[in-house]
Amino acid sequence: MSDGNPHGTGLTRRQLLHEMGLSSQWRLREQALAGRAGKAALAPPPTAILAVAGDATAAVEVFEVVEAVEAVEVLAPAPVASSAALPAVDREQQIARLDWDGLRHSVAECRACGLCEERRQAVLGVGDRRAEWLFIGEGPGVEEDARGEPFVGPAGQLLDAMLAAIDLQRGENVYIANAVKCRPPGNRTPESAEIATCAPYLRRQIALIQPRLIVLLGRAAANAVLGDSGSLASMRGKTFEYRDADNAETAIPVLVSYHPAYLLRTLQDKAKAWEDLCRARMLMRAATTPASLPA
């Protein structure tokens, strides 16, 4: 990626990293090596490796952030809570048969939990329905509730900058969804029961999209996809697997990172989020590179 590439955001890479709270000294190792040794040194890196380059006079230090994909944890999908209208099993089965139009309609009309009472509109998701990348957040905030699109407020601007930093753009090979489709009043964290009630919609979105990688932004998203599986700190750096009930032979790698709204409040963790993004890119490369045949 060149420094002058606008990424559809109107910002250069340097500005994007600045938006993420990362100075331009954070570079992928391949770029650091290219800078020092020319293009001939560039082979696709087998792992996500970050380089921290100092100023022009300082030596370049290279840190390996991730050696390899770590232990894969397989978790059952989160349990489904009962809905107001249908027994949970019937409702789950009904949702599992919906196409995109049916899903949008069902979500818009949903009254299965109390979040419907104060929403302006339900927010299904946005992006490429055949995307390889699926990012999942918590739930709509006030701006998303008004506009009907996820991540359009300040956290969304940071998410767009994070996407651009790994050469992604909202809507292009990326789909963005939330754990719950209706705004929790006062932007509170959705409750576990609300997340569970909304989970069949998220599962249907995953089944329709069939992404190659799922990135869970924050605890609510992790709860929705992986169940209640510990603190965010304990989940970061691990690779989980998601298996759709109807397509159980296909495991989709899942990783957990910080929610952009948290990062806006906790600047010191932005560097860790950058590590997670680099690892996500490594996992995507692994998921989309055909395994080499034995000689």
Contact set with ligand URA (CB under 6 A): 137-141, 144, 150-151, 155-156, 178, 261
What are the residues whose beta carbons fall under 8 Å from the beta carbon of 284, sequence distance 6 or more? Answer: 132, 133, 212, 213
State the Cα–Cα distance between residues 206 and 178, nearest whole angstrom: 11
Is the distance from CB of 81 to CB of 88 less than 8 angstroms?
yes
CB closer to ligand URA out of 144 and 244: 144
State the Cα–Cα distance between residues 80 and 122, nearest whole angstrom: 19
Is the distance from CB of 52 to CB of 26 less than 8 angstroms?
yes
Rounded to a whole number of angstroms, the minimum distance from the CB of residue 149 to ligand URA is 8
Rounded to a whole number of angstroms, the minimum distance from the CB of residue 101 to ligand URA is 22
What are the residues whose beta carbons fall under 8 Å from the beta carbon of 86, sequence distance 6 or more? Answer: 94
- Give the start-end residues of each E strand in the chain: 26-28, 49-53, 60-64, 72-74, 125-127, 133-137, 174-178, 213-217, 239-244, 247-257
Name the residue with the smallest CB distance to ligand URA: 137
Rounded to a whole number of angstroms, the minimum distance from the CB of residue 199 to ligand URA is 15
Rounded to a whole number of angstroms, the minimum distance from the CB of residue 25 to ligand URA is 29
Q: How far is CA 164 from CA 89, 161, 178, in A?
A: 40, 5, 20
Rounded to a whole number of angstroms, the minimum distance from the CB of residue 179 to ligand URA is 8
Is the distance from CB of 273 to CB of 258 less than 8 angstroms?
yes
Instruction: Give the 3-state secondary structure of residue 28.
Output: strand
Rounded to a whole number of angstroms, the minimum distance from the CB of residue 67 to ligand URA is 31
